[in-house]
Copies of this chain bind each other. A is one copy, B any other.
Amino acid sequence: MPEIKIAFLGFGNVGKALARLMIEKRQELIHRYDLVITTTGIATSRHGMAIDPQGIDLEAALSSELADLNRVDGVNDSLEFIRKCGAQVLFENSPVNYETGQPAIDHLRLALELGMHAITANKGPVVHAYRELTDLARQKGRRFYFESTVMDGAPIFSLFRETLPASRLFSLRGVLNSTTNMILSRMEDGESFDAAVAYCQKIGIAETDPSGDVDGWDAAVKVAALVTVLMDIPLLPQQVDRQGIRGITPAEIERAKQDGKRWKLVCSAERVGEQVKARVAPECVGIDSPMYGVNGTTSIVQFESDVLGKLSIIEENPGPHTTAYGLFADFLNAVRH
């Protein structure tokens, strides 16, 4: 039975959820996919790194914070870890850098150069290095996959890649940022903007500085990633016409409610000749829009292509386990084809 060696670069909420999923699906991988998984490396940001060609016990790694594992001296940085980990698949889960995509791009490039499949939930490398990394992967006969960068584990990139071959995407529209959607949902229930932000921080979906979400940056990065990959037109977040939700007043929310409408931070992109017009801006949507019922952390994206009419995907109840599943599905699709 083929043994596949994997390594985790980054072992936070998502990396740990992926490790739990690997444990949970171990028997199924053996019986349904004829695959045995061995973890040969784990690199954490604060608890050091472990490498073991014989296999690291994932259960132990999840409970011990690597303290009791086989530590390797002389491996002090991420690139060294990638070179020494001996894996065939690297899960890159370093923190996102919207400005440059680094250091994730360097990690993924090195992994591919070494002949590994490179899988990430990090949006930075997709908007800053999609073509380079995809070309490198093709050249090496490996895969650069990143399903979890938009709508967590819901199939978006794999939808087009695997299930909609030879299609041409004309336009997309969606609600892709959970935090602003939760804030708007709570403001409809009478909460102030500040209280709604505080709530999102409390449940862990907003940062201490919420501007990445409320000013539309996260949404713009997602639009840029979708356009770059699905329309094959390189687009940076800075090129997205972007407006956040700070300008929406409680009075406007109340007025919309009385008209049977709701405010949503809508992402959109549309081909115009060889170019694309991409936008993030608040819109007031009515009950017959599929976005109307998309509340709280739910997200939606609607695609218009040459082969189908409108096709929408809605994801409810996301979390680290669904992000982890996106990585896991990427992994299986990389190794089974």
Contacts and interface: CB of A to CB of B under 8 A. Distances in A.
Contacts of A333: 162-163, 165
Contacts of A309: 315-319, 322
Contact of A328 (B158, B166, B325): B166
Interface string A123-161: 000000000000000000000000000001111001100
Question: How many copies of this kind of chain does the complex include?
Answer: 2
Contact of A164 (B155, B289, B316): B155
A308 B315 CA distance: 8
Interface residues of A, number: 48
Contacts of A33: 165-166
A333 B162 CA distance: 8
Interface stretch (A24-32, A194-202, A204-212): A24-32
A46 interface: no
Contacts of A319: 309
Contacts of A32: 166
Contacts of A293: 287-290, 292-293
A263 to B, nearest CB: 16
Interface in A1-37: 21, 25, 28-29, 32-33
A2 to B, nearest CB: 15
Contact of A154 (B155, B166, B302, B308): B308
